[in-house]
Amino acid sequence: MNGMRGEIRDNTNRRLKKGGVRWSEKREQPIFSTRAHVFQIDPTTKKNWVPTSKHAVTVSYFYDSTRNVYRIISLDGSKAIINSTITPNMTFTKTSQKFGQWADSRANTVYGLGFSSENHLLKFAEKFAEFKEAARLAKEKSQEKMELTSTPSQESATGDLQSPLTPESINGTDDERGTTPEIPQHPPEPRPEPSQNQLPFSHSSSSINKHWEAELAALKGNNAKLTAALLESTANVKQWKQQLAAYQEEAERLHKRVTELECVSGQTPVIKSQKTELNQTIEELESALKAKEEELERLKEEVESANEFQTQKESLTQKLQETEERNQTLEAQLGELELRLEGSQLESEAFRKSLRSLLELLDGKIFELTELRDSLARLIEDSSS
C-alpha cells in the first residue's frame, strides 16, 4: 500500500512539474478529485467559452499545509490548464444542470467546468464552499495572530513609558499569565515621614492612585479581549472539529480508493495498453472525421456547382424550346411563303400566256390593219389615176 501511494505521489509530482506547477509532496496533497471538461472565458470577447481540454480531465483540490491555502489544479497531459488559489471572495456559480464557473482575479480569467452529471457538479460546489470557508477562517486566524502579536508589544511599550517599575511590570501581570488578577481596592499605605515632608507624600499618593486606575482600565480591556478571543476560539474549535470529521471521512474515502487502486494495480498494464489503444483509436477517428469533413465540404462545393449547372441547363433548355418554337413558326411561315410564291409563279405563267396570246392577236390585228392600209392606199392611187 505504501509503495502504491508513493508511486501515485511521484507520478502526480512529475506531472505537476512538467505542467509548470510548483508543488511539494510533503506539504501539498490532493484532497478531492473529479473529472470534467475544462473551459476558459475568451479574453477578447469576455462572452464565449474556449475549451482548454479535448476530453474530460481530472480536476483536483490541493491543500498546502505550510501556507494554509487551497488550490484547484487540473492537468491535460503535461500542461497545467487550471492553477487557481481559492480565496474567501471567490464564488462558484452553477449556471446550468451540469455546468459551473468561478472567477479568478489573480489569473485574470473565468474558469468553467462541464460535468457528466448534476451530482458531480453539486459535490464539486459543496467542496468549493467548504474550502472557501476554510480559507476564510485561516485568513481570519492569521490576522488574529498578527493582532495578538502586535497588541502586547504596543501595550508593553506604553506601560514602560507611563508606569513605574513594579513587580507586575517585571514579572508580567496575572492576565498575561492566564489567570484573572485580583485588583487592589486601595493603594498601599506609605511610611510615615516627618511633618516637613507632608506635602510630597500627598503628591505621591495621588500619582499612585492614577497609576492603579490606569492599571485597572488596562486589565479590564485585556480581560474583555481575552473573553472575546476565548468565545471565538470556542466557536472555531467546533468548526475545526466539523472540518476534522469531514477530513477523516475524506481520508477514509481516499483510503478505500487507494485500496481499490491497489486491487486493480495488477491490471494497470492492461489498462494502460487499452488507454493507449483508445487514444490511438480516438486520434484515428478524429483524423477520419477531419477527412470526412473535408470530403463533405468538397461534396458541398460539387453540389453547389451541380446546382449552378442544373440552373444553366434549365435556362438553356428553355431557350432551346423557345428557339424550336420560333423555328417551327418560321418553317410554317416559309411554307406559306413557298405556297404563295408557287401561286404567284402560276399566276405569272398564266399572265405570260395570256400576254403572248394577246400579242399574237395584236400582231394579227396589226397585220390586218397593214393590209387594210395597203389596200386603201391602192384604192386611193387607183381613184386618182
What is the C-alpha R_g of the chain? 58
Give the residue carrying C-alpha cell 472567477. 103
In a domain, 94, yes or no: yes
In a domain, 83, yes or no: yes
Give SS3 for 176: coil
In a domain, 119, yes or no: yes
- Give the domain range for residue 95: 30-144
In a domain, 103, yes or no: yes
pLDDT at site 382: 85
pLDDT at site 44: 87
pLDDT at site 27: 57
Tell me how far apart the 2 most distant CA atoms of the chain are, in Å.
230
pLDDT at site 160: 40
pLDDT at site 221: 81
pLDDT at site 201: 42
**What is the full per-residue pLDDT of the chain (385 aa) written as tens digits?**
445 445 445 554 555 444 444 444 445 778 899 999 999 998 888 888 999 988 899 999 998 888 888 999 998 887 889 999 999 889 999 999 999 999 998 888 999 999 999 999 999 999 999 999 988 888 888 777 776 665 554 444 444 433 333 333 323 444 333 333 333 333 333 333 334 344 444 455 677 777 788 888 888 888 888 888 788 777 778 778 888 888 878 887 887 777 777 666 655 666 677 788 888 889 888 888 988 889 888 888 888 888 888 888 888 989 999 999 999 999 999 999 999 999 989 998 999 999 999 999 999 999 999 999 999 888 888 888 7
Any idea what the CATH number is for the domain that residue 60 is in? Answer: 2.30.29.30
In a domain, 70, yes or no: yes
Give the residue carrying C-alpha cell 479574453. 43
In a domain, 268, yes or no: no
Q: Is the dihedral of CA 7, 13, 16, 18 positive or negative?
A: negative
Spatial separation of the C-alpha atoms in residues 296 and 300, rounded to whole Å = 6
User: How many domains, the chain?
Assistant: 1
Nearest to 85 by CA among 17, 131, 121: 131
In a domain, 41, yes or no: yes
pLDDT at site 305: 85
> All 3 cell numbers of residue 192?
510615615
In a domain, 74, yes or no: yes
DSSP string, 297-315: HHHHHHHHHHHHHHHHHHH
Spatial separation of the C-alpha atoms in residues 324 and 318, rounded to whole Å = 10
Spatial separation of the C-alpha atoms in residues 18 and 46, rounded to whole Å = 29
